Each structure stands twice: as structure tokens, then as C-alpha cells.
């Protein structure tokens, strides 16, 4: 009987912990036409207080950088690299190195050349989020950004 009670209690605790998965970063997407043949994609990370994500460039053996991968398409071409504001650079005790990161929010921008009138840009982004106590495993997010 004690085993059954312990099993049920453990199961409930496990289920409750899965129900409270941390999601300290919310992503949103937009686009803006610059001309008939060019547009800019905006990929925004809203980061909960106390958390941060890493920049696109970090030293080797450091944390997971924020990486963007765009699906190849005949309807558009990437024009340059993904740009963002200058990150905060500080020494990270966890990785024992200086790393660039963003807190609160950051907007990444990617210019594209349009070959069609209203393409949808698809891709993935991979990032890692940390606070002073923990880092969550890297996460991959899929996105679709319509260009109107």
C-alpha cells in the first residue's frame, strides 16, 4: 500500500513539473517592404526579467549562440546577414569567458530580395536562455513570416 501511495505521489509531482515548463522567451515576427523588390524581416525576442539569450557570435566552447536558418526558396533571396543591436558583453562564470547576450528584448533583422510579390519566409532559429541560477536546454523554433 505504501508503494502505491509513493508511486501516485511521484506521478503527480512529475506531472505537475511538466505542466510548469519554463518559457522565458516569447518570439514574434513581422516584415516590412522597403521597395517593390526588397523587404526586411523582424524577429523579436521578448525575454522575461532575470533571463538572457546569447548573441549570434560566442567564443568556441561557450553557450549556444542564437542561430537563424532560412529555408531556400525561389521567391526570395537573403540580402546580407541577420543584424541585431550590439549585445551586452560580460564575463560569464558558468562558461568562464566573456560572452555577448541580450536581456529584456532584442529585434533581429534580415533583409531579403523579392522574386515574387508576396512570399512567405520560412526557417528556424536556435537559442539558449539562462538566468543566474540555470540554463535551459537549447531550443529550436520554427517560423513563417509572410511578406505583404
The CATH number corresponding to 22-146 among 3.40.50.2300, 2.40.50.140, 1.10.132.20, 2.60.40.1250 equals 2.60.40.1250
pLDDT in tens, 119-145: 999 999 999 999 999 999 999 999 999
Maximal C-alpha separation, the chain: 72
What's residue 94's pLDDT?
Answer: 83
Q: What is the pLDDT of residue 59?
A: 94
pLDDT band at 21 (very low <50, low <70, confident <90, very high): confident
Instruction: Kindly report, residue by residue over 98-127, the tens digit of the pLDDT.
Output: 999 999 999 999 999 999 999 999 999 999
> Which pTM does this prediction carry?
0.84
Could you give the count of Cα atoms lying within 13 Å of 26 in the half-sphere of its Cβ? 4
- Looking at residues 76-92, what average pLDDT do you find? 96
Query: Which pLDDT score is estimated for 20?
Result: 56
Q: What is the pLDDT of residue 82?
A: 98
Q: Stretch 59-87: mean pLDDT, rounded?
A: 97
For the beta sheet containing 67-70, the strands, ordered from the edge strand earlier in sequence to the opposite edge, are 67-70, 120-127, 139-146
Query: What's the average model confidence in pLDDT over 53-57?
Result: 98
pLDDT of amino acid 93: 86
Amino acid at each position: 500500500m505504501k508503494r502505491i501511495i509513493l508511486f501516485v505521489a511521484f506521478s503527480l509531482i512529475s506531472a505537475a513539473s511538466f505542466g510548469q515548463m519554463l518559457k522565458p522567451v516569447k518570439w514574434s515576427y513581422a516584415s516590412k517592404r522597403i521597395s517593390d523588390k526588397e523587404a526586411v524581416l523582424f524577429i523579436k525576442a521578448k525575454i522575461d526579467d532575470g533571463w538572457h539569450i546569447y548573441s549570434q557570435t560566442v567564443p568556441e566552447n561557450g553557450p549556444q549562440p542564437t542561430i537563424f536558418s532560412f529555408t531556400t526558396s525561389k521567391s526570395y533571396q537573403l540580402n546580407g546577414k541577420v543584424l541585431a543591436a550590439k549585445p551586452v558583453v560580460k564575463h560569464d562564470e558558468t562558461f568562464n569567458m566573456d560572452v555577448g547576450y541580450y536581456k529584456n528584448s532584442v529585434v533581429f533583422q534580415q533583409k531579403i530580395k523579392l522574386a515574387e510579390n508576396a512570399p512567405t519566409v520560412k526557417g528556424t532559429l536556435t537559442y539558449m536562455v539562462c538566468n543566474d541560477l540555470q540554463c535551459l536546454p537549447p531550443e529550436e523554433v520554427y517560423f513563417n513570416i509572410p511578406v505583404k
